[in-house]
Amino acid sequence: MFADDEINILVIVLDVNPIWWGQQAQREPQFTLSTCLDSLMVLANAHLVMSRTNKLAVIANLYQKSHFLYPSKQWKSGDEISTSSDGKYELLSVTNDLFAEEIRNLMDRTEVSGSHTDSLLAVSIAKALCCILNLWFMQIAGQDVKSRILVIKAAEDSTLQYMNFMNVIFAAQKKNILIDACVLDADSGLLQQACDITGGLYLKIPQKIALAQYLLWVFLPDAEQRSQLLLPPPVHVDYRAACFCHRNLIEIGYVCSVCLSIFCNFSPICTTCETAFKMPLPQMAKTKKKKVKTAN
């Protein structure tokens, strides 16, 4: 009855860092990029079949760029799409074919690069947000648009993207877009924060070969349905900041009011923006533990 009133958008951001996946193929031959792609395709098909108004996008996340696997720009070429002979729902067969074709082309075009081998996660999530907003504008009045982003993470975090990443997370939170994370290898603090802030689910998978099962069980239901289900409890997130001078995690520190950089010890000049601060009076230093100085 209400199927037409709700659009559910799922954007999958897949980490296809070829270096990590190549090493993974050597470590564990039974779970390689092909298996991962197959599992993702199963999830994508399931999502599309749940309702006629569900929408899907898939973005591949590489170190040089991030690329839309579906929907792809190649449709306009007017090529004949081979209709499947097994009577499968056409949308699914077309989706799968395009997906496969794009990933093949993408991998073919990959160049070897010595530097910058980290995946550009913030870029992909930003693209995902734009894509969701685009679909948002196409809604008919009275329709409810619910969207979520599922990030499949293979390689480690790239620390250089912190600022961009946080900006993207807060933008998602403002627009009520959930960010879910499915982590294959190493835990990622950034993604844990993202899931916590936006209200999504973070899951580190113990068995990679059962990826499809985890995806369908945990990540297929949308936000409303999740409240009715028993799902893994949220992870405890370590929100402690690291000081800018030593990169140690601290609980209490000093913050410069001009540039907001965090220090573990007081210093009269902020090293980031070179603002000078007044020396603290001795009695204040004893009683107060945390100070925020105003620039004069």
Partner 1 sequence: MASLSEEVLLVVKRVRQRKQDGTLYLMAERIAWGPEGKDRFTVSHLYADIRCQKISPDGKAKIQLQLILHTGESTTFHFSNGSTALKDRDATKELLQQLLPKFKKKANKELEEKNRMLQEDPVLFQLYKDLVVSQVISAEEFWANRLSLNTVEHSLSNNSKQEVGISAAFLADIRPQTDGCNGLRYNLTSDIIESIFRTYPTVKQKYAENVPHNLTEKEFWTRFFQSHYFHRDRISTGQQDIFSECAKQDEKGLNSMVTRGVKNPMVDLLLLEDKTLDEVRDCHGAGGRPTEAPSDQASETSSTDGNSRDSDFFQPPLKKVKLQESIEYDDLQGDSGRKTIALNLKKSDRYSHGPIPLQSQHYTTSQDIINSISIIQHEMRNYKPRLTQVMSSNAASSAITALSPGGLLMQGGAQQTINQLVPTDVQIELKHLYTAAGELLRHFWSCFPVNTPFLEDKLTGHLEEMLQAAYSKFQVWQTRRMMRKT
Question: Interaction with partner 1 in 261-280: which residues (CB under 8 A)?
Answer: 261-262, 271-274
Does 233 help bind partner 1 (rule: CB under 8 A)?
yes
Which 9-38 residues touch partner 1, going by CB under 8 A? 9, 11, 18-23, 25-26, 32-35, 37-38
Q: Hey, CA dihedral for 223, 136, 128, 198, is it positive or negative?
A: negative
H-type helices in 6-120, by residue range?
18-27, 33-50, 90-108
Which 98-117 residues touch partner 1, going by CB under 8 A? 99-100, 103-104, 107-108, 110, 112-114, 117
Q: Which is nearer to partner 1, 3 or 285 (CB)?
A: 3
Binding residue for partner 1, selected from 137, 282, 284, 292, defined by CB under 8 A: 137
Residue 138: CB minimum distance to partner 1, A: 5
Kindly state the greatest CA–CA separation across the chain: 83
Residue 160 CB partners (closer than 8 Å, separation 6+): 118
The interface region with partner 1, picked from 170-178, 199-207, 219-227, 278-286 by CB under 8 A, is 199-207
Residues 239-247: contacts with CB under 8 Å, at least 24 apart: 239/193, 244/271, 244/272, 245/271
Kindly report the number of other CB atoms within 10 A of residue 290's CB atom. Answer: 9
Give residue for tokens 């992870």.
235
Token pair listed for 97: 């074919």
Q: What pairing do the DSSP bridges indicate for beta strands 55-61 and 66-70?
A: antiparallel
Q: Which is nearer to partner 1, 223 or 243 (CB)?
A: 243
How many of the chain's residues bind partner 1 (CB under 8 A)? 92
Does 173 help bind partner 1 (rule: CB under 8 A)?
no
Binding residue for partner 1, selected from 12, 13, 41, 150, defined by CB under 8 A: 41
Residue 152: CB minimum distance to partner 1, A: 15
Does 244 help bind partner 1 (rule: CB under 8 A)?
yes
The interface region with partner 1, picked from 130-138, 175-183, 194-202, 281-289 by CB under 8 A, is 130-138
CA dist 41 and 178 (Å) reads 20
| Segments of 158-219 assigned E as strands | 178-183, 202-204
CA dist 227 and 236 (Å) reads 19
Binding residue for partner 1, selected from 50, 184, 237, 258, defined by CB under 8 A: 258
| Segments of the chain assigned E as strands | 6-15, 55-61, 66-70, 144-153, 178-183, 202-204, 241-242, 249-250, 254-255, 262-263
Burial class from Cβ neighbours inside 10 Å (0-12, 13-18, 19+) for residue 144 reads: exposed
The interface region with partner 1, picked from 172-180, 210-218, 219-227, 278-286 by CB under 8 A, is 210-218
CB 225 within 8 A of CB 231: no
Which 73-92 residues touch partner 1, going by CB under 8 A? 73, 75-76, 78, 81, 90
Residue 75: CB minimum distance to partner 1, A: 6
Does 132 help bind partner 1 (rule: CB under 8 A)?
yes
What x-and-dash track marks residues 277-296 binding partner 1 by CB under 8 A? --------------------
Residue 123: CB minimum distance to partner 1, A: 14
Q: Which is nearer to partner 1, 167 or 285 (CB)?
A: 167
